[in-house]
Chain A
């Protein structure tokens, strides 16, 4: 189905939430913008599967991390805008630090194995 697979492929399960929260730190946005921003910021390395974007948004909203409101977009269209709540901000800090710890740990492991191989 996908014609030209992006480098990093589909977003890892669970990281989508983090990316959404991170994107919204810059201000309220609607679903389409969020997807675009993630793709552009990652220099098109990450492709947001749009079918899973909305379930993720709704889940985050149900958990109280996001608040949503209907509004009008830049090109004068109706759209549902999401913004971070205080709880969402806290969550973003927490998941970001978790993520950094994890990538560092993975990096360490990969670095070691590389040196062994040589």
Chain B
């Protein structure tokens, strides 16, 4: 009500003015009627009424809200005063915008990844089931474990197994077959995640049992893109891998999975299976009121039950089961790196604040007389502080709004060029959205920084001695001692904070360079890789897979520009399977196997195509088929680790020990040793690895593989591989009878992806370090330039008394560098203490890396010197006569 009155007061005032006029006219009429002359009548009327303005002001005041009025008045004053010094205003706003921009950028990622709940109903109750052991916990499940977990109905509402859409499926039919991501799930999956069903239904328990038939549930995306959103799709069949699948339902668009899937298929487990290999993961929804602790206690009992049911050989005495929140699993180790980035970005924000505080201090001393005049005219200290705070808040809010835009656009750009760095951010960072959290955060940070950098200058400015300031002849006395010291302190902190940032950035840069320098163990150039989904019936036996590989390799080699080609389960730098193995005849002691090693099934030309060197023995040939004697090649790391003295080339290996019937194999002879390649990550040492010819895989294992992972093709070219994509995919389609390929990329691209997380961290910290350094340099420059300007007269006198230009310059440089060096020393101390938080992100450099700790301070000092040199040089140009006449 008051507000409405307030808003309409201008209109009302005009109305009142008119009303008063009317009153005067009536009074005048009355006076005329009494016989007065018209002139006198008007005079008397006005006299009687008094000043109409006073009346109007009275009504106006009564209609106004005092605080809005005051704010508006202050704001208009602030805008006028800021507009008078556009240089200052622009620099301040830009500095704040950068500070708040980078902070908002990092926060928006933290918000999307760490803060937002998973996009499922009651997602806090969703947990991942883990295998626990002395060496940590990891997800992964097999049918026996799934059975036991599924029985824990006292703690779990639903338990569902699913895979990561590994193998891919071929959606055949139509003109262009398409490889799609099919996620295998157990029947409870949809209920557990609360997936919205927009058409049809999800799988029944009967459909999720062996021989449950070919049924499929479509995702919204695939339903729209491939089937045009056909409302009658449910009940029809679609061809997958050449087989008709009955569509039973469609899931709504809001249902997001990580990684994304195009369709879902029932797992159709044989629940009597005793396979011990982990090839899917299991999540569960806790019953209402069940805590993680209660669940973990119950799962301890479940582990005992597991040992009783499936023999204790399959789960060691140290092993057990546990749960962790699903969100924690998805977020994984990005949490710590995001928190480090958030910490770093707060340092940037602090530097920005110190910088603007410094600018405001300088501005306040330049405005000393203005403020003193205002005080003399009756402005209270509170009013002056309020006005100065309004000014800094106006700056910080403007800068904050700009920063919000900058930061948001920046983070989306950054995420779009750094794929696969972070979970939960969606494709090209599309899940990083502008939500109320971020707006509130930006607003909060803006207000906080406005107060932070505004309060100290405001208090210090309002403390000046009135008489002294008014009597002072403009600009003579120089920097008041107190503000001078305060500004020096701010510059020192800026330098120190900037140094910490730049040292952090240089450590990450060195880490990245070291990673780049790691030899992956093969030639990454001119290698094209792609996946072929081999999930159809043809590929349930090894012979079918071997045939496709033979035909494909022949066709590919015939493509002009292709020099070699191979296929395998897995690629270097991407990681593969691992299994336990025994060396035949070697005593195991108490262990269940001789050891564990990577398990790569590859075609005969794999090593030649990758140019992985053969160190000893022989490589695979086309003749190492299922009918030939079993052979295996190991890598150097495996030879060194398990045959530190002996010769592996005589020994036989038994792979897949204790993993259930699928993995039972005859012993294989070690026929060769190849060079190490990095799998998974360049920062880890190559792990021991065994290579087995694809053609010699047991059928059961091939069948399992075909469900778990696609077949990778790798093609060595002697020109830019991108130019050969079309003929290569055509050759493979011909050779395989129409199978499409997907995930086409070069090995160089894969290599870039393996270090993308490090590159992302490095890029961000380098941006932070550079902006921190720039702001600190501006800070030092600003302080020295200001002090030189204030001391023009003193410098003039010194020169008049015979000081040389070099004396003057050195004096200014000495004073400026003293501040910079104090900052550098404090910064080194701070960095020693803070870089420990970076330790886990480093590779090949120590957290106290001498190079970083020596070069960075030198760099910073050099930048400071340049920033100081300019005003120092200007100081020498002071003309004594002008300076003295300046009065």
Chain A interface (Cβ < 8 Å from any Cβ of B): 30-33, 36, 49-52, 54-55, 58-59, 62, 73, 75, 77-80
Ranked nearest first, the 4 interchain pairs of A and B with the lowest CB-CB distance are A32-B26, A51-B50, A79-B22, A80-B19
Partner of B59, one of A32, A49, A58: A58
Residues of chain A with a CB closer than 8 A to B19's CB: 31, 54, 79-80
Distance in angstroms between the alpha carbons of A78 and B59 in the assembled complex: 21
Q: Known interface pairs A50-B48, A75-B29. Does A30 touch B22 (Cβ–Cβ under 8 Å)? A: yes
Query: Is A54 a contact partner of B22 (Cβ separation < 8 A)?
Result: no
Across-interface contacts of A77 in B (CB, < 8 A): 22, 25-26, 29
Q: Check B55 against A55 for contact (C-beta < 8 Å).
A: yes
Q: Is B272 an interface residue (CB 8 A)?
A: no
Within 8 A of A (CB), among B51-86: 51, 54-55, 58-59, 62-63
Tell me the nearest residue of chain A to B52, going by C-beta.
A51
Chain B residue nearest to A32 (CB atoms) is: B26
The answer to whether B51 and A54 touch across the interface, beta carbons within 8 angstroms, is no
Give Cα A75–Cα B30 distance, bound, in whole angstroms.
10
Q: Is the CB of B23 within 8 A of A50?
A: yes
- Answer yes or no: B608 CB below 8 A from chain A CBs: no
Q: How far is the CA of A77 from the CA of B22 in the complex (A)?
A: 7
Q: Give the residue name and chain of the B residue nearest to A63 (CB).
A: B1
Q: Are A51 and B51 in contact (CB under 8 A)?
A: yes
B16 touches A (CB below 8 Å): yes
The residues of B that contact A55 with a CB separation of less than 8 Å are: 55, 58-59, 62
Digit string of B364-398 for contact with A (CB within 8 Å is 1, else 0)? 00000000000000000000000000000000000
Taking each of A32, A62, A75, which has the highest tally of chain B beta carbons within 10 Å of its own beta carbon? A32
Q: How many angstroms from the CA of A75 to the CA of B18 in the assembled complex?
A: 17
Whether B22 pairs with A59 at a CB distance below 8 angstroms is no
- Are A50 and B49 touching (Cβ within 8 A)? yes
> Judging by beta carbons under 8 Å apart, are B49 and A75 in contact?
no
Interface of chain B: mostly helix, strand, loop or mixed: helix
Given contact pairs A33-B26, A51-B51, a sample of 18 additional A-B residue pairs in the complex whose CB atoms are under 8 Å apart: A31-B19, A32-B22, A32-B26, A50-B55, A51-B58, A54-B55, A55-B55, A55-B58, A55-B59, A58-B12, A59-B62, A62-B63, A77-B25, A77-B29, A78-B18, A79-B26, A80-B15, A80-B19
Contact A51 B55 (CB under 8 A): yes
Given known A-B contacts A58-B59, A62-B5, A77-B29, A32 and B51 have beta carbons under 8 A apart:
no
**B27 interfacial by beta-carbon distance below 8 Å:** yes
Please, how many angstroms separate the alpha-carbon atoms of A58 and B15 in the complex? Answer: 11
Distance A17 CA – B62 CA, assembled complex (angstroms): 16
CB distance from A20 to the nearest CB of B (A): 14
Q: For residue A73, which residue of chain B has the nearest CB?
A: B26
Cβ of B133 to closest chain A Cβ, rounded Å: 77
B503 to chain A, nearest CB (A): 65
Identify 9 residue pairs between A and B in the complex whose beta-carbon atoms are under 8 Å apart, listed by A's number.
A30-B22, A31-B23, A33-B26, A50-B48, A54-B20, A55-B55, A59-B62, A77-B22, A79-B26
Bound complex: CA A54 to CA B22 (Å): 12
Contact with A along B31-59 (1 / 0, CB 8 A): 00000000000000000111100110011
Q: From A64, which residue of chain B is reached at the shortest CB distance?
A: B1
In whole Å, how far is B4's beta carbon from the nearest beta carbon of chain A? 10
Chain A hits for B29, CB < 8 A: 75, 77
| Chain A residues near B59 (CB-CB < 8 A) | 54-55, 58
Cβ contacts under 8 Å, B26 to chain A: 30, 32-33, 73, 75, 77, 79
What residues of chain B lie closer than 8 Å to A54, measured between beta carbons?
16, 19-20, 23, 55, 59
From residue A116, how far is it (CB to closest CB) to chain B in Å? 43
A10 to B449, CA, bound (A): 55
Give chain A residues whose Cβ lies under 8 Å from the Cβ of B23: 30-32, 50, 54, 79
In the complex, per-residue mask of B347-363: 1 if CB is within 8 Å of any chain A CB, else 0: 00000000000000000
Q: Please, how many angstroms separate the alpha-carbon atoms of A73 and B28 in the complex? A: 14
Which A residue sits closest to B19, measured CB to CB?
A: A80
- Which residues of chain A come closer than 8 Å to B5, judged between CB atoms? 62
Q: Which residues of A contact B51 (CB under 8 A)?
A: 51
Closest to A34 in B: B23
The answer to whether B22 and A51 have CB atoms under 8 Å apart is no
A54–B20 Cα distance when bound, in Å, is 8
Question: What is the distance, in angstroms, from B843's C-beta to the closest C-beta of chain A?
Answer: 73
Tell me which of B5, B51, B54, B59 has the highest count of chain A C-beta atoms within 10 A of its own C-beta. B59
Minimum C-beta distance from A1 to chain B (A) = 8
Which chain A residues border B18 with CB–CB below 8 Å? 78, 80
In the assembly, what is the distance between CA of A57 and CA of B12, in Å?
12
Structural contact, B12 and A51, CB atoms closer than 8 A: no
A31 and B12 CA atoms in complex are apart in Å by 16
Cα A104 to Cα B154 with chains together (Å): 82
Q: Is the beta-carbon distance between A58 and B50 smaller than 8 angstroms?
A: no
Chain B residues with CB under 8 Å of A30's CB are 22-23, 26
Closest CB in chain B relative to A46 CB, distance in Å: 15
When distances are taken between beta carbons in the complex, the residues of chain B under 8 Å from A32 are 22-23, 26-27, 30
From known contacts A32-B22, A73-B26, A78-B22, infer whether A51 and B54 are also in contact, taking CB-CB under 8 Å. yes
Minimal Cβ-Cβ distance residue in B for A30: B22
Interface centre among A31, A55, A77 (most CB of B within 10 A): A55
With CB as the reference atom, state the residue of chain B lying closest to A31.
B23
Chain B residues with CB under 8 Å of A33's CB are 26
A75 cross-chain contacts in B, Cβ below 8 A: 26, 29
Q: How far is the CA of A31 from the CA of B18 in the complex (A)?
A: 12
Residues of A within 8 A of B22 (CB): 30-32, 73, 77-80
Which chain A residues border B55 with CB–CB below 8 Å? 50-52, 54-55
Which of chain A's residues has its CB closest to B49's CB?
A50
Give B295-338 as 1s and 0s: 1 = Cβ < 8 Å from A's Cβ atoms: 00000000000000000000000000000000000000000000
Give Cα A100–Cα B19 distance, bound, in whole angstroms.
33
CA distance A25 to B48 in the complex (A): 26
CA distance A112 to B59 in the complex (A): 42
Give A75 to B26 CA distance when docked, in angstroms.
Answer: 8
Interchain CB contact under 8 A, B16 and A50 = no
Among residues of A, the one whose C-beta sits closest to the C-beta of B58 is A55
Q: How far is A31 from B15 in the complex, measured between Cα atoms in Å?
A: 13
- Give the complex CA separation of A77 and B62 in angstroms: 29
B111 to chain A, nearest CB (A): 46
| Residues in A neighbouring B49, C-beta threshold 8 A | 50-51
Can you name the residue of chain B whose Cβ is closest to the Cβ of A76? B29
Give complex CA distance A62, B12 in Å: 11
Give the distance in Å from the alpha carbon of A51 to the alpha carbon of B58 in the complex.
9
Minimum distance in angstroms from A32 CB to a CB of chain B: 4
- Nearest CB in chain B to that of A47: its residue: B48
CB distance from B13 to the nearest CB of A (A): 10
Tell me, in angstroms, the Cα distance from A80 to B18 when the chains sit together. Answer: 9
Complex Cα distance, B63 from A59, in Å, reads 9
Contacts of B16 in A (CB 8 A): 54, 58
- Residues of B527-549 at the interface with A, using a CB-CB cut-off of 8 Å, are none
Residue of A nearest to B27 (CB): A32
In angstroms, Cα B30 to Cα A77, docked, is 12
A55 to B27, CA, bound (A): 18
In the complex, A55→B30 CA distance in Å? 23
Shortest C-beta distance, A83 to chain B (Å), equals: 15
Nearest CB to that of A62 among chain B residues?
B5
Residues 424-457 of chain B: 1 if any A CB is under 8 Å from the residue's CB, otherwise 0? 0000000000000000000000000000000000
Contact residues in B for A49 (Cβ distance below 8 Å): 50
Residues of A within 8 A of B48 (CB): 50
- Chain A residues with Cβ under 8 A from B15's Cβ? 80
A50 CB contacts on chain B under 8 angstroms: 23, 48-50, 55
Chain A residues whose CB sits within 8 angstroms of the CB of B63 once the complex forms: 62
Residues of A within 8 A of B50 (CB): 49-51
With the chains together, A80 CA to B26 CA distance in Å? 12
Shortest distance from the beta carbon of B8 to any chain A beta carbon, whole Å: 10
A59 partner residues in chain B, CB cutoff 8 A: 62
The complex places the Cα of A55 from the Cα of B53 at a distance, in Å, of 12
Cα–Cα, bound, A33→B63 (Å): 25
* CA distance in complex: A52, B56 (Å): 10
The distance in angstroms between the C-alpha atoms of A59 and B51, with both chains bound, is: 19
In Å, the complex CA distance between A31 and B26 comes to 10
| Whole-angstrom CA separation of A77 from B23 in the bound complex | 10
